[in-house]
Copies of this chain bind each other. A is one copy, B any other.
Amino acid sequence: MTGYVPLNFKAKLASFEDYWSPRVIAEMNDYQFKLATVEGEFVWHDHKDTDEVFIVIEGRLKIEFRDGAVELSAGEMFVVPRGVEHKPVAEQECHLLLIEPRGVRNTGDAGGALTAEGDVWI
């Protein structure tokens, strides 16, 4: 505990510009809260061992599944169940809050150029 300072999503989001590169802003037990700015298409992937939460802070996000899709606007969330293949897509810039256990890789087992290695805190 280093002080009683609120975490302001938009202020934190303004501190970085690269897409698909989540920054950790907080931990609750062994879970991490990450902010990300995204635009374009991510890769198909899943997380075998954990659900994953997406909350849209600003903009719109489509999460594609093999048999459908969900479209999220600001103030909306969705829980992608473990093991379900999904591909996030944002036609325009979108700001997200992601919640998942510490140690989860953003691309799951898919890997590739968009894989974020290690935690970057802001």
Contacts and interface: CB of A to CB of B under 8 A. Distances in A.
Copy number in this complex? 2
B57 A75 contact: yes
The DSSP consensus for interface residues of chain A is strand
A76 B6 contact: yes
B81 A6 contact: no
A102 interface: no
A8 B76 contact: yes
Contact of A4 (B6, B26, B52, B68): B68
15 contacts: A4-B63, A4-B65, A4-B70, A5-B70, A8-B73, A8-B76, A9-B76, A9-B77, A10-B75, A26-B77, A26-B79, A28-B51, A28-B53, A29-B101, A57-B75
